Amino acid sequence: MAKVETTKSKQPFWLGGAAASMAACFTHPLDQTKYRIQVQSFKQPMLRALYTFASRDGVLSLWQGLSASIMRQSTYSTARLGLYNYLAHTLKRTSSTQNLSTSSTIACAGVAGGIAGLIGNPTEVVLVRMCADGAKAPEKRFKYGNAVTGLLRIARDEGVGAFGKGLTPNVARSILMNVSQIAVYTVAKAKILATPALKMKDGVPTHIAASLAAGTVATTVCAPADVLKSRMQSAAATSGKPQGLWKVVSEGLRQEGPRFLMKGWTPAWLRLA
């Protein structure tokens, strides 16, 4: 019998970003609602927020900021997934191994997430502002027509330094997101397969269960950094200076209490999980 050789075709680095961009077209209303809830100083349930904005501005308004979401996925997600694949492949080649250890996988995920956070921060600023506009008073809105217009106006009106707004919490969020997803997924899958009472094999149901666990933990761990990032990026400069991290934290704790750091958890979880 002739020996049949099978080789796994290498996927292009941009494929993950393209898939994320297409998914954003469907999940954008959740993303937009998350940002609006995060920047508001009062508590508002997700469904009430969706209903309020849709009834006021129309259902199609829930896709406001979609161009920025696609631009963000095209940069951040492409870099995050592409860099992870590159780092993992390089590490496998240098260590002459087919499978990386959990610690090596997590390290690759953390580095890829951090660099992707740096690359995607400018588009993140535009996305947050376009999405959060609907939660602000008309005179305080940025009113960017699309993502490209937003980038040009920020550079012209505030300088290129404004693209670094919220950079620290954004990079922290990106690292935490990548690491927590991979670490929790790996542990959850192993626990499920090692529990005889569940009688589950390494198939789609197991992958779904492990993914739900990973999505829940990742959403919870990343929520504080996500809220701080959104508030810093959506704020206009005061007295020519951007709003600092410590000011955002102190004002939020004083006015709303520590629970403000978990705002937007529900739409974030639905979108991720």
- The per-residue pLDDT for range 121-133, each reduced to its tens digit, is 999 999 999 999 9
Give yes or no for a contact between 125 and 166, defined as CB atoms under 8 angstroms apart: yes
Predicted local confidence at residue 236, as pLDDT:
75
**pTM exceeds 0.75:** yes
Can you give the pLDDT at residue 240? 54
The model's pLDDT over 192-224, given as tens digits with 9 standing for 90+, comes to 999 998 889 999 999 999 999 999 999 999 999
pLDDT at 39 > cutoff 80: yes
- The confidence band for 264, taking pLDDT boundaries of 50, 70 and 90, is very high
pLDDT at 3: 44
Residue 102's pLDDT band, with cuts at 50, 70 and 90, is confident
Residue reference for tokens 């704790």: 253
**Rounded CA separation 128/36 (Å):** 9
Please give the pLDDT value at position 2. 45
Instruction: Report long-range pairs for 4-11 (Cβ below 8 Å, ≥24 apart).
Output: 11/85
Say how far apart CA 97 and CA 103 lie, in whole Å. Answer: 14
What is the reported pLDDT for 8?
A: 52
Interaxial angle between packed helices 167-193 and 102-132, expressed in degrees from 0 to 180 and rounded to the nearest 10: 130
Model confidence band, residue 115 (pLDDT cutoffs 50, 70, 90)? very high
Q: Is the pLDDT of residue 7 over 70?
A: no
Asked whether the predicted pLDDT for residue 237 surpasses 70, the reply is no
Q: Each residue of 166-178: pLDDT tens digit?
A: 999 999 999 999 9
Residue closest to 184 by CA, chosen among 89, 114, 109: 109
pLDDT tens, residue by residue, 152-166: 999 999 999 999 999
